[in-house]
Structure 1
Amino acid sequence: MLSDPMLDSIMSRSDWSEPDSVLGTYVAQMDRLINLVEPGVPLSLTVHGLLVSGDLIPQWQWFAEVSEMNDYEDAFFVGMAEHMKEQSDLAHHAIRQRDIGGEVTHRQMSALLAPTKYIHLRNTRIYSPDSKPDEVRLWRGRLSDVSGWTPGLSVDA
């Protein structure tokens, strides 16, 4: 069997498994917000052949809302929310310091440069080809699993 050099170069590219850099930047900017986001930014994603639509919220806010589900506060999720909020605050302050020519601490720089790996949605609908949409209050997924996206919600949402 003969190989096609053009096809071989496309198939061997390693960046196919990398998250979309534009979506990653969009989510990273959301994660750096330090105030609650209400109602969230409508977003639709394609994930392993499913359509996932919901409101994008910061990572720390997602953990805080999970901790409040079912009228209880789970210590793990409360702790994660506090940690993520602290990282968001550090990144936010690093940007402000950098913009005014101030000195950025190592902790602030680490928070600012931390890679964004997950996306967090609220009021989510998951559409599969053969059934009605499933509705979930909070959804978290890997950015590297998203194969396509668009701002806004799906037509039925």
Structure 2
Amino acid sequence: MNESADLAPDSPAMITEPVPDLQLQLLLQLLDREMRSGLPLTLTVPAGVLHGDVIGHEAWKADWARSLRQVEGEGANLIAEFPETVDQGIKELRADEDAKQLPRWIHLRDATLVLGGAAPLRLPLWRGRLADVSGWALGRPE
């Protein structure tokens, strides 16, 4: 008999995800306090090695909104307001939570993704799930 057969049919399903590094979460929380702050950081992610300047959520959101304003075509005005709209929705969902949660996302500016056997990929802005970072170090590779 397998283990799943031992569960009661009405027991709730459990969703599990990797646990982010607490020190990295606290570093990101510190960076969120000052919008102009950034630190050079190298990350190990599933795709390879990523390095750039880690920035707080507000700095990333401002840069992202600025880049969206450069989009041309119909609906460009709507897209430019998207980062603020997303944040407002998140704040409304969390309105009943007392404690501020630790960051779950990490943001880099002027990032470079180094893939095995391919040319490095340069990215002006990058956002990734913090739980997907398996290793990190202050600084960039030389």
Same fold (TM over 0.5): yes
Give the match for residue 25 of structure 1. 26
AA aligned opposite 1:48: P
- The answer on whether the counterparts of 1:60 and 1:80 sit within 8 Å (CA) in structure 2 is no
CA distance in 1, matches of 2:36, 2:86: 18
Matches within 5 A, 1:38-117: 40-69=38-67, 71=70, 74-80=80-86, 83=88, 110=98, 113-117=100-104
Structure 1 residue 75: Cα displacement: 1.0
Q: Residue 134 of structure 2 corresponds to which residue in structure 1?
A: 147
SS at match of 2:134: strand
User: CA-atom RMSD, angstroms?
Assistant: 2.6
Contact 1:44 1:150 in 2 (8 A): yes
Shift of 1:143: 0.8
More helix by share: 1
CA contact (8 A) 1:55 1:122 kept: yes
Q: Quick one: structure 1 residues 66 and 16, their matched pair in 2 at CA, closer, same or farther if it must change by over 3 Å?
A: closer
TM-score (norm 2): 0.69
- TM-score, normalisation: structure 1: 0.63
Following TM superposition, where does structure 1 have runs of at least 4 consecutive aligned residues deviating by more than 2 angstroms?
A: 70-73, 78-81
How many residues align? The count is 114
Q: Which segment is superposed worse, 120-129 or 70-79?
A: 70-79
Unaligned 5+ residue runs, structure 1?
Answer: 1-14, 88-106
> Equivalent residue for 1:36?
35
User: Deviations for 1:45-77, whole angstroms, at most 9, x for unmatched residues?
Assistant: 000151010101110111111111162561111
SS in 2 for 1:23: helix
Alpha-carbon spacing, 1:66–1:49, altered in 2? closer, same or farther (3 Å): closer
CA shift for structure 1 position 25: 1.1
Give the letter aligned to residue 75 of structure 1: E
Structure 1 position 16, deviation (Å): 9.0
Partners of 1:122 and 1:138 within 8 A in 2: yes
Matched residue, 2:108: 121
Does 1:133 pair with 2:131?
Answer: no
> Is the 8 Å Cα contact of residues 35 and 58 (structure 2) preserved in structure 1?
no
